[in-house]
Amino acid sequence: MAVRPITVIGHKALHAPTKKVREITDEVRTLVDDMFDTMAAAEGVGLAANQVGVRLRLFVYDCPVPGEDNARGVVVNPALERLGTPAPLDEEDGEGCLSVPGEWFPLARHPRARVTGTDLDGREVVVEGEGLLARCLQHETDHLDGYLYLDKLTGPVKAEAREAVKDRGWAADGIVKWDPSATTADEV
């Protein structure tokens, strides 16, 4: 198992829809193990395959759930169902992303979400959650569809995010990946 570099906003892999996983191979199993290691090193709660430069439709998650153990697993070929109506934003509705390291912006999400897919053994997986878990399921599935959470921002927040990304200078400096085993998100 290894920590893989994480792609940063501007990398083409983040804006291309992923491909359906047709077969669970040893390479896919290694990818998933590496993704868990990478997510832990980066202190994230979810990670999509294209965030480590692999265009396969799968993500891993390890998300805190109030009053319970963390929700943790892998979903292969997920399909997302958004449940409920997004509420007006409040301070707790901020969202971050390992591919936009060190930044945090408010984004309204559906209060509940359900993802269906399979695990690495081909068994059906259904993950349903609310709060942070619902946000995580929506966020990671968006990645697999070629969208970053910044793409969904509106109004002044969208302009603020554009300015923050520009100020970071990732694309201008040729930075397309960061190594979470060597740096923190704030150092990128």
**Which residues are annotated as part of the binding site for Fe cation?**
97, 139, 143
User: How many whole angstroms separate alpha carbon 170 and alpha carbon 174?
Assistant: 6
- Contact (CB, 8 A) for 59 and 78: yes
Q: How many residues does the chain have?
A: 188
Q: Is 160 a catalytic residue?
A: no
CB atoms within 10 A of CB 5: 16
Geometric angle at alpha carbon 123, from 23 and 72, rounded to 5°: 100
Pick from 48, 6, 23: nearest CA to 144: 48
H/E run at residue 82: strand 71-83
Which residues sit in the known binding site?
A: 97, 139, 143
The active-site residue, picked from 27, 91, 124, 140, is 140
DSSP for 112-139, please give it.
Answer: EEEEEEE-TTS-EEEEEEETHHHHHHHH
What is the set of active-site residues?
Answer: 140
